[in-house]
Amino acid sequence: MATQLHRRLNAPAAVAVRGLSRSFGDRRVIDNLDLTIRPGEFVALLGASGCGKSTLLRILGDLDPEFSGEVTVPERRAIAFQAPRLMPWKRVWLNVTLGLPGRPDRARAQEALEEVGIGHRADQWPKVLSGGEAQRASLARALVREPDLLLLDEPFAALDALTRLKAQALVAELWLRHGCAVLLVTHDVEEAVLLADRVLVMKDGIIAHHEEIDLPRPRDVADPRFARIRGELLDWLGVRQGAPH
Amino acid sequence: MSVTEIARGYSPPREAESAAGSSGPARADLVRLTPAAARAGRVPRWLRRATGPVVLVLLWHLASITGLLPSEVLAGPGTVLASAAKLIENGELQAAIVVSMQRAMSGLAIGGSIGVALAVISGLTRLGEDLVDAPMQMLRTVPNVALIPLLIIWFGIGEAPKIALIALATAFPLYLNVYAGIRGVDQSLIEAGRTLGLGRWGLVRHVILPGALPNALVGLRYSLGIAWLALVFGEQINATAGVGYLMANAREFFQTDVIVVCLVVYAILGLAVDLVVRILERIFLAWRPSFTGA
């Protein structure tokens, strides 16, 4: 099991996880898990709710030190959560620069906000942003740190369908430009296939399945190959398809 | 039935139609809804709200001039206004207000600083909580006014016991609210702050203290209210100046008009400082989603 994911290891890994375990009480949510993410690779992590995928992300984000095993991650990481988690008492641009060393750099914040398409919202309070705009601000705040690893914890789950499509396209575009490794935790199979180089299915505390997605980008949901991969992944997730391929 | 049929206003046949024997489709009773702007009455709201107090003052005035309310019991509004004018003219009232204001504000400054400082210590650190919170929770149950005899023994009968009383009284509301505010800061925001690279001090400065600010202002409001209450009690301790002194003097000579003037002054001062806090909230809490403008 330990070697099945370690193909194409010609570059030093962005994320290297060996024998990772994490228990809550006597429930072993992550059980001797191995995972490697290459630099610049976009990895989507699928799994039923409660399967431990968010726990894994929190461990990689150094938010949960109660694990055992060996975990190596880049020093420069950024996280975008399901809720945007903007500080309501800071203007949008000050939210973007929060935590950066030195004085708040307005120009840098503005640039990051322009990149996600909400440059005109820089001086607003977070309370007036729409859900999509707040999530974009949260992305800008993550990317302004120029991370080597971007962790996305179901960032589109709370958005409405149309906003989600736009946000997904934006993430694809930002990833191409920044070239950072991305781990996207999601329960949306279509989203995973649309965005990722590789889709992992987490089950029983380990990576039960991984699927390289070599469809050309931008990907088309109507592509039969897309549909086939989605069907396989749904099978792995234990969702029986009406018409199996 | 096709979609276009529906769109063109096709309506299915009704049973009611044949029963009623009418030719056209039966029409439900309709009511026209009026927008709020048109619905508002002819009398503006502020005028309606002003009516109650005005009627009360009128009744008071009537009772005075008919002799129903003797001036030894309560002077009429006319007399009260006249003596207020006199007190303002000879500068007594202003001087008294300045003295009382100074007492209340220095007491609040001292008590408030202590309350906030202790709240920050016990809110931010586990050690501070263990050392500070339990005694504070015990002490806050002691009625402040009951401490007056002790304060007189400790500080004599000058300014010190009055200010000490106000300081004691105002420290607790600020302590409790700031402490609750610090402990109530959204954990997910603290976590987000950590992932953004904020250190301990950065978290305190950018996340925890701003997050506790709404509660702190609530505490300030309570403290100001209590500062006034404590001032009234404090000024009963052998005051030689201030609104309380004016009142005590008036009591000696049965000047109910002056007493009423002093009561009104206390009320106005209370309202004024409340207004100040509202303005502070407007400035510092503009970010709050629930804030709709005072």
A92: nearest CA partner in chain B: B287
* Separation between Cα atoms, residue B162 and residue B164, nearest integer Å: 5
Measured distance CA(B263)–CA(A83) in Å, rounded:
52
Cα gap B104→B226, rounded to integer Å: 10
Indicate if the pLDDT at residue A72 is higher than 80: yes
Nearest CA in chain B to A88: B287
Is B258 within a domain?
yes
Closest-CA residue to B195 (of A130, A87, A91, A88): A87
The string of DSSP codes covering A160-181 is -HHHHHHHHHHHHHHHHHH--E
Domain-located, residue B272: yes
Does A92 fall in a domain? yes
Task: Closest CB to B192: pick one of A77, A81, A100.
Answer: A81
User: Per the domain annotation, does A119 fall within a domain?
Assistant: yes
Using one digit for the tens of pLDDT, what is the confidence trace for B18-69?
444 455 566 788 888 877 776 656 778 888 888 998 999 999 999 999 989 8
- Count of domains in chain B? 1
Q: Please tell me the predicted confidence (pLDDT) of residue B19.
A: 47
Q: If you write DSSP's letter for every residue of chain A in order, what string do you get? A: -TTTT--S--SPPSEEEEEEEEEETTEEEEEEEEEEE-TT-EEEEE--TTSSHHHHHHHHTTS----EEEEE--SSEEEE-SS----TTS-HHHHHHTT-SSS--HHHHHHHHHHTT-GGGTTS-GGGS-HHHHHHHHHHHHHTT--SEEEEESTTTTS-HHHHHHHHHHHHHHHHHH--EEEEE-S-HHHHHHH-SEEEEEETTEEEEEEE--PPSSP-TT-HHHHHHHHHHHHHTT---SS--
Residue of A nearest to B207 (CA): A87
Output the pLDDT for position A158.
Answer: 84
Whole-number mean pLDDT of chain B?
86
B226 or A10, higher pLDDT: B226
Domain count, chain A: 1
pLDDT at B50: 87
Domain limits for position B176 = 78-284
Assess if residue A244 is contained within a domain.
no
In a domain, B9, yes or no: no
Q: What is the CA radius of gyration of chain B?
A: 30
As a dihedral over the C-alpha atoms of residue A121, residue A124, residue A128, residue A130, rounded to 10 degrees, the angle is 20
pLDDT at A230: 92
pLDDT reported for residue A50: 83
- Decide if B206 and A77 are in contact by the 8 Å CB cutoff: no
From chain A residues 111-140, the ones with a CB under 8 A of any chain B CB are: 125-127
- Among B187, B188, B196, most A C-beta atoms within 10 A, so best to mutate, is B196
Is B162 within a domain?
yes
A226 found inside a domain:
no
Establish if A113 belongs to a structural domain. yes
Distance of CA B263 to the CA centre of its chain: 18
Cross-chain Cβ contact A87/B193 below 8 Å: yes
CA-to-CA distance for A82 and A54, rounded, in angstroms?
10
Measured CA distances, B70 to B59, B65, B251 (Å): 14, 9, 16
Per-residue pLDDT band at B17 (split at 50, 70, 90): very low
Residue A238's pLDDT is: 85
Q: Establish if B71 belongs to a structural domain.
A: no
Which phi and psi angles does A60 have, rounded to 5°? -65, -30
Rounded mean pLDDT, A79-100: 94
Q: Would you say residue A121 lies in a domain? A: yes
DSSP code at position B91: T
| pLDDT at residue B263 greater than cutoff 70 | yes
Q: Given this model, what pLDDT does residue A3 score?
A: 34
Which pLDDT belongs to residue A240? 66
| d(C-alpha A205, C-alpha A203), whole Å | 5
Q: Which comes out higher in pLDDT, residue A153 or B71?
A: A153
Contact B176, A65 (CB under 8 A): no
Residue B235 or residue B107, greater confidence: B107
B14 touches chain A (CB under 8 A): no
How far is it, in rounded angstroms, from Cα A191 to Cα A210?
Answer: 15
- Give tens-digit pLDDT for A20-66: 999 998 889 999 999 999 999 999 999 888 888 989 999 999 999 99
Instruction: Please indicate whether, in this complex, the C-beta atoms of A99 and B189 are within 8 angstroms of each other.
Output: no
Tens digit of each residue's pLDDT (9 = 90 or more) over B79-130: 999 999 999 999 999 999 999 999 999 999 999 999 999 999 999 999 999 9
Q: Are B115 and B171 in contact (CB under 8 A)?
A: yes
A188-235 pLDDT tens trace:
999 999 999 999 999 888 899 989 999 988 888 899 999 999 999 999
For residue A107, what are the domain limits? 84-145
- Name chain A contacts of B287, Cβ cutoff 8 Å: 88-90, 125-127
Whether the pLDDT of residue B6 is over 50: the answer is no
The answer to whether residue A128 scores a pLDDT higher than 80 is yes
Concatenate the DSSP letters of all residues of B250-293 into one string: HHHTT-HHHHHHHHHHHHHHHHHHHHHHHHHHHHHTTT-TT---
pLDDT at position B40? 59
Instruction: Identify the pLDDT of residue B49.
Output: 85
Give the mean pLDDT of B163-187. 94
CATH of the domain at B262: 1.10.3720.10
Q: Which of the residues A87, A91, A151 would you substitute to probe the B interface, choosing the one with the greatest number of B C-beta atoms within 10 Å?
A: A87
Determine, yes or no, domain membership for A97: yes
Q: What is the mean pLDDT of residues A58-79?
A: 92
- The pLDDT of A4-21, averaged and rounded, is 68
Q: What are phi and psi for residue A217, nearest 5 degrees?
A: -100, 150
The reply to whether the predicted model has a pTM over 0.80 is no
> Would an 8 Å CB–CB cutoff place B190 in contact with chain A?
no
With respect to residue B243, please indicate whether it lies within any of the assigned structural domains.
yes
Q: How far is B197 from chain A (nearest CA, A)?
A: 5
Report yes or no: A166 and A95 within 8 Å, Cβ to Cβ: no
A122 pLDDT band, cuts 50/70/90, is very high
Q: Please state, rounded to an integer, the average pLDDT across all residues of chain A.
A: 88
A53 occurs within a structural domain: no
Q: A175 pLDDT band (50/70/90 cuts)?
A: very high
With 90 as the cut, is the pLDDT of residue A91 above it? yes
B18 occurs within a structural domain: no
- Closest by Cβ to B206, choosing from A63, A98, A125: A98
ipTM (interface pTM): 0.84
* Nearest CB neighbour to A99, from listed B202, B211, B286: B202
In a domain, B169, yes or no: yes
Q: What percent of chain A has pLDDT over 70?
A: 93
pLDDT at B238: 78
- Report pLDDT for B81: 92
A90 touches chain B (CB under 8 A): yes
